[in-house]
Chains A and B, each alone.
Chain A
Amino acid sequence: MSAALDPPQPTAQRRRVGAVRATALCYRVLIRQIFSVGRLVALGALGAVMVVVGWVVGNSADGGGSANAGALFDGASYADGFGLIIIVPIVSLVFAAASLGDVRDDGTLVHLWLRPMGRAPLVVAAAAASITVSLPLCVVPTALGGWLATDFVADSGGVALGALAAAALGTVAYSCLFVLLGLLFRKAVLWGIAYVLLWEGLAVGLGDFAERLSLRGYARTLLSRIADVDLGFTAYGLITAVIVLAGVSAVSLALATVRLGRINVD
């Protein structure tokens, strides 16, 4: 080994890494860290189950014009009940909680933390990496499963489009929330599952007020409004649902940025 380095540079020549470049660099690293064949197969299989069951539901529906509205309702309910309650939050949780939580737990966070760049790019990169991986695993089965469950009746395209939009925006919001969760708790996946099952899955059944405090409620509003199917929660309009989901995403990332600046890095 030989010290063939130049003497240290004066401070003025040193560069801070810009936010966009820092985000891109962290994104490239984190997406490779969170992506694994095991996760892909397990969560992809969950999506495949939704698609197959959706096809079975669609084929078992009664035909005829009077059943048209019922088929649309069945498809939208299925996209909500399987896609928005199970697939979207679980898939988002697995990847988003791992994006910073895993690198914090395994000690590699230091390689991105002790750098001349802000904290926000690292958080944004983590969310972007999680969303990149989660989005196809959430959107495709939710939209396709919901559409198949309508048995392709007239206007079934609206259900597919609504399910697609709801799954996409839901994935973004859940991913941002679970990036924060990964920085707040060591066993973030367990905490996240408890949240998804106990709050998003059960508590929202307590009524409109509880549903207003759940991400699923707003994702379902999107589905309901775009598909023009009454799923029972109609307190807000389409724009409000979009704004709330975007707001939750932004606030989660802001809190995660603050949290990242305060944590102890191993």
Chain B
Amino acid sequence: MNARPRPVPAHTPDVAGDEPVPESAAGAAAPAAPPAGMVEVHGVSKFFGDVVAVSDVTFAVRAGVTALLGPNGAGKSTLFRMMCGLTPPSRGTVRVLGADARSDCDVRGRIGLSPQQDALFDRLDALEFTAVAAATQGVTDPEAAARHALGIVELDPDDGRPVSGYSKGMRQRTKLAAALVHDPEVLILDEPLNGLDPVQRRRMIELLEDLGAQGRCVLVSSHVLGEVARLGSRILVIAQGRLVASGDYRELRELMDDRPHRISIEADRPRDLAAALVTSGTVVGVRIDGDVVVADTLEVDRLGREIAPLAKDLGARLRQVIPLDEDLESVFRYLVERR
């Protein structure tokens, strides 16, 4: 591919704000002031012996849904654990609502965590489990809160079976109910869509969007690009412990502006149309696949303007024009693997 520098280190990503916060020069000794946000991660690294799990990550997250995207082992769960105070950073600072959850007792009651591991108190039923979560969060009527939270995730509070007998999807929803039961301002959900069927996934995504729209900070991790694309959220891309990009997926796609966009054009005279596109100079390469012209272009806007007049001049009928690489898979592959 090319030797374009990585997109992130130029500024501190503030994925919920409008204005990026300038960061001190790379390698400078004095750290910049941490960016304001409901969750603030500043210069954070985490080492496990010789293994670098997270390396010098800085970002801030405000209200709304933000997705932490990266392959397995990228450091997403470690970042979440540091946010919740479950493990301290080796370097840097992590603040949730301005406090360190590891040492500040009160802020822990303002965080709802659904951990990645499938560990529940297996002898309790869902109502008991969620009610224990509510009670230990200081909720005044734990059972009522638990029933309400279980209703939100569409589980029967009166099921009565211990959660050890639940399917993976039901256990996932039980964890989410326990995370929601005390009405937290910050929700940290580690791979919350794992184990859910397609209908449940769609509903869960709607729920997360609603929670974000209510002013909560909802952080969701995933290694599945399609899930993040459907969330329509702001994205932090993590790979090999580093933050490699941030923004919504269109912004991420724009980072790839030196890479040709691939467009699929379905028309009834594909060969003539392909030749005309090459002659016009709007494409850098074409391939014909049946009635479809697959064109690579560096000037996607110009192609968009000129494709219809070209087709009209040829007497060709355009049936469909769609971008092929504006999916997150392409963005992710480019950012992480440079191909």
Which residues on the B side are within 8 Å of A32 (C-beta)?
121, 123-124
Establish whether residues A116 and B106, one from each chain, have CB atoms under 8 Å apart when the complex forms. yes
B280 to chain A, nearest CB (A): 50
The answer, yes or no, to whether B126 is at the interface (CB within 8 Å) is: no
Establish whether residues B136 and A17, one from each chain, have CB atoms under 8 Å apart when the complex forms. yes
B120 to chain A, nearest CB (A): 7
The answer, yes or no, to whether A60 is at the interface (CB within 8 Å) is: no
Residue of A8, A9, A106 most packed against chain B (CB within 10 A):
A8
B214 interface neighbour in A7, A21, A264, Cβ under 8 Å: A7
Q: Which of B24-32, B78-86, B227-235, B303-311 contacts A (4 or more CB under 8 A)?
A: B78-86
Which residues on the B side are within 8 Å of A1 (C-beta)?
152-154, 200, 203-204, 206-207
The answer, yes or no, to whether B117 is at the interface (CB within 8 Å) is: yes
Cα of A112 to Cα of B121 in the assembled complex, Å: 11
A8 interface neighbour in B105, B204, B216, Cβ under 8 Å: B216
Binary flags per residue of B141-159, CB closer than 8 Å to A gives 1, else 0: 0000000100111100000
Residue of A1, A4, A15, A118 most packed against chain B (CB within 10 A):
A1
The answer, yes or no, to whether A76 is at the interface (CB within 8 Å) is: no
Given the contacts A29-B132, A33-B123, A8 and B183 also touching, CB distance less than 8 Å: yes
Cα of A4 to Cα of B181 in the assembled complex, Å: 11
Establish whether residues A108 and B119, one from each chain, have CB atoms under 8 Å apart when the complex forms. yes
Establish whether residues B81 and A265, one from each chain, have CB atoms under 8 Å apart when the complex forms. yes
Cα of A156 to Cα of B327 in the assembled complex, Å: 83
A116 interface neighbour in B87, B105, B204, B206, Cβ under 8 Å: B105
The answer, yes or no, to whether A20 is at the interface (CB within 8 Å) is: no
The answer, yes or no, to whether B109 is at the interface (CB within 8 Å) is: yes
Establish whether residues B215 and A8, one from each chain, have CB atoms under 8 Å apart when the complex forms. yes
Establish whether residues A11 and B214, one from each chain, have CB atoms under 8 Å apart when the complex forms. no
Establish whether residues A116 and B207, one from each chain, have CB atoms under 8 Å apart when the complex forms. no
B142 to chain A, nearest CB (A): 9
Establish whether residues B180 and A5, one from each chain, have CB atoms under 8 Å apart when the complex forms. yes
Establish whether residues A15 and B124, one from each chain, have CB atoms under 8 Å apart when the complex forms. no
The answer, yes or no, to whether A53 is at the interface (CB within 8 Å) is: no
Which residues on the B side are within 8 Å of A17 (C-beta)?
135-138
A150 to chain B, nearest CB (A): 41
The answer, yes or no, to whether B189 is at the interface (CB within 8 Å) is: no
Closest to A30 in B: B121
Which residues on the B side are within 8 Å of A8 (C-beta)?
110, 183-185, 214-216
Establish whether residues A110 and B106, one from each chain, have CB atoms under 8 Å apart when the complex forms. no
Establish whether residues A33 and B206, one from each chain, have CB atoms under 8 Å apart when the complex forms. no
Which residues on the A side are within 8 Å of B87 (C-beta)?
264-265
A114 to chain B, nearest CB (A): 5
Residue of A3, A33, A110 most packed against chain B (CB within 10 A):
A3
Near B by CB (< 8 A), chain A positions 68-108 give 106-108
Near B by CB (< 8 A), chain A positions 113-151 give 113-118
Cα of A14 to Cα of B97 in the assembled complex, Å: 14
A7 to chain B, nearest CB (A): 5
The answer, yes or no, to whether B101 is at the interface (CB within 8 Å) is: yes
Which residues on the B side are within 8 Å of A264 (C-beta)?
81, 86-87
The answer, yes or no, to whether B9 is at the interface (CB within 8 Å) is: no
The answer, yes or no, to whether B210 is at the interface (CB within 8 Å) is: yes
Which residues on the B side are within 8 Å of A14 (C-beta)?
106, 109-110, 138
User: Would you list 25 pairs from A and B whose C-beta atoms are within 8 A, ordered by A residue?
Assistant: A1-B200, A1-B207, A2-B206, A2-B210, A3-B207, A3-B214, A4-B148, A4-B152, A5-B214, A8-B215, A11-B110, A17-B136, A29-B132, A32-B123, A107-B115, A108-B120, A108-B121, A111-B133, A113-B86, A116-B109, A116-B138, A118-B105, A264-B81, A265-B86, A266-B86
Interface residues of A (CB under 8 A from B): 1-9, 11, 14-17, 21-22, 25-26, 28-29, 32-33, 106-108, 110-118, 264-266
